[in-house]
Amino acid sequence: MKLIVGLGNPGKEYEHTRHNAGFVWIDCLADELKVTLRPEARFNALCARVNMNSADLWLLEPQTYMNRSGHSVAALCRFYKIQPDEILVIHDELDLLPGAVKLKCGGGLGGHNGLKDIAAQLGTRDFWRLRIGIGHPGDRSDVVRFVLHPPGKEESRLINEAIDRSLQIWPLIAQGDFQTAMLKLHTK
């Protein structure tokens, strides 16, 4: 793993929204690794470089708004020659209930604009994703309002538990042991 991307929208008005679950995850990992994300204009993102096992690992929070996240990801990947299978994208997932979290590589994009832009900019869907369940509002026409608002108290607790649980498998992800990570994460 060379690049860990958390998806979200920049700005105080979006800080606690469901759509920013990826930013929350990255912030927690940065705290754990004792690094600070700093603005990096050439990637239009907040970034931190971590040396792990004699190799660089990048943490990235695109500051482009969700539907242009791929521009930041692709810029960093081109600059540091990072391949799609060396990327993990953490994002909110409407198709999972709050509290659920799943790890996968490739597959569909589920209508997620951040994932769509990353796939378009990289030219492939073959990157790793950590999907943090936020639930679905029930009606497709309510999705935008739903993701751009904070979750209720119980939903927030469940989403934070999912983030904490997925951070516990971080060492396995860092080692590239995705099979064991998925087994631990997906087994209750």
pLDDT in tens, 125-147: 999 999 999 999 999 999 999 99
Catalytic residue, chosen from 16, 19, 91, 112, is 19
3-state secondary structure 136-160: CCCCHHHHHHHHCCCCCHHHHHHHH
Residue 115 pLDDT exceeds 80 = yes
Name the CATH topology of 3-186. Answer: Rossmann fold (3.40.50)
- pLDDT band at residue 95 under the 50/70/90 scheme: very high
DSSP-derived secondary structure for the chain: --EEEE----SGGGTTSGGGHHHHHHHHHHHHHT---EEEGGGTEEEEEEEETTEEEEEEEE-S-GGGHHHHHHHHHHHHT--GGGEEEEEEETTS-TT-EEEEES---TT-HHHHHHHHHHT-S-SEEEEEE----SSGGGHHHHHTSPPPHHHHHHHHHHHHHHHHTHHHHHHT-HHHHHHHHH--
14 is in an annotated binding site: yes
Q: Is 9 annotated as a binding residue?
A: no
Q: Is the pLDDT of residue 188 over 80?
A: no
Phi, psi of 28 (to 5 degrees): -65, -45
Domain boundaries, given as residue ranges, for the chain:
3-186
How confident is the model over 5-32, as a mean pLDDT? Answer: 97
Interval 49-53 mean pLDDT:
90
Q: Is residue 113 annotated as involved in ligand binding?
A: yes
Mean pLDDT rounded to a whole number for the chain: 96
- The reply to whether 80 sits in an annotated binding site is no
Residue 114 clears pLDDT 80, i.e. is over it: yes
112 carries an active-site annotation: no
In the predicted model, is pLDDT for residue 158 greater than 80? yes
Q: Per-residue pLDDT for 30 more than 90?
A: yes
